[in-house]
Amino acid sequence: MIELYHGAGSVCSSKVRLGLAEKGVDWVSRPINLQASEQSSPEYLELNPNGVVPTLVQDDLVVVESSVILEYVDTLSEDNPLMPSDDRAKAIARVWLVRCLDIHAAINTMSFTTVHRQRLLAKKSPEQLEDYITKIANPANAAKRRDLIENGVSSTNMYTAFFTLRRMFDDMQTALENGPWLMGQQYGIVDTALLSYVDRLDNLGMSGLWETRTPAVGTWLEASRARPSYAAAFDDYFPETERDSMKAEGAPLWPAVQEQWLAFLDT
């Protein structure tokens, strides 16, 4: 039995849900309420000491890190293989999976300097915010979260995020010149790994990051969303109404982000 501990709106959780849907693997949902800091509970920290989602459990096997989980999910069924069979292509795909660590950090920055920050400041008192931050298991992640909430788009973490995102979009644009998918003609593990991250940026109202410079990213995003796996991974957990609400909240923040993005591109 496959159990997945996951957060409804978590990009890494939706990434794994996408993989499970693509593979047609049955799984048992173990929802973790991130807003209630359930990921920081003693019970969950015993399972995943990092205090993050998702975590996949199969019998006595516990797998953490969404890219590792995604590759493991691909082994659970011979149907619809996500990892390419060619050794060279496998190496390229695995490099993308490793890059997801930096990409996730960039998406985290973009989320918590914009819409997530606004929501936290609107709903939590200073004391509640302090409690929320101190519950984060990793001290480095807690320090970053504090900075993002305190400084918003003025955070120095924005420069690092832009560096990662520019490279990601440029490399995606180049890859998509060779086919509709990131590894060529066949949808695969790289598309599954990156979709949730780009989808989150679009939901934040930040599609201007790629629309002009790397437009193939937008075409790829729409094609990916048209796959049945997208509805399976998102609609029951992070419905379209919530995505639309997030985009509406993010749109007024885009001009400030755009100003910094364009200045970064000029450096």
Q: What is the pLDDT of residue 182?
A: 98
- Cβ distance 77 to 63 under 8 Å? no
Same fold? 2-74, 87-265: no
| Residue 236 predicted with pLDDT over 90 | no
d(Cα 42, Cα 24) in Å, to the nearest integer?
A: 32
Q: pLDDT over 90 for what percent of the chain?
A: 96
pLDDT above 90 (res 93):
yes
Residue 255: its pLDDT value, please? 97
pLDDT tens for each residue of 162-175: 999 999 999 999 99
Q: Is 152 helix (H, G, I), strand (E, B) or coil?
A: helix
CATH for the stretch 87-265: 1.20.1050.10
**Side-chain-facing half-sphere of 70: CA atoms under 13 Å:** 30
**In 3D, which of 159, 160, 155, 247 has the Cα closest to residue 208?**
247
Domain positions in the chain? 2-74, 87-265
DSSP string, 225-260: HTSHHHHHHHTTTS-HHHHHHHHHHHGGGHHHHHHH
CATH superfamily of 2-74: Glutaredoxin (3.40.30.10)
pLDDT digits (tens, 9 = 90+) for 124-152: 999 999 999 999 989 999 999 999 999 99
**At 120, is the pLDDT very low, low, confident or very high (cuts 50, 70, 90)?**
very high
- Model pLDDT, residue 267: 87
The mean of the pLDDT values for the chain is 96
23-69 residue pLDDT tens: 999 999 999 999 889 999 999 999 999 999 999 999 999 999 999 99
Residue 111 backbone class (left: φ over 0; alpha: ψ -120 to 50; beta: rest): alpha
Residue with tokens 């000029």: 266
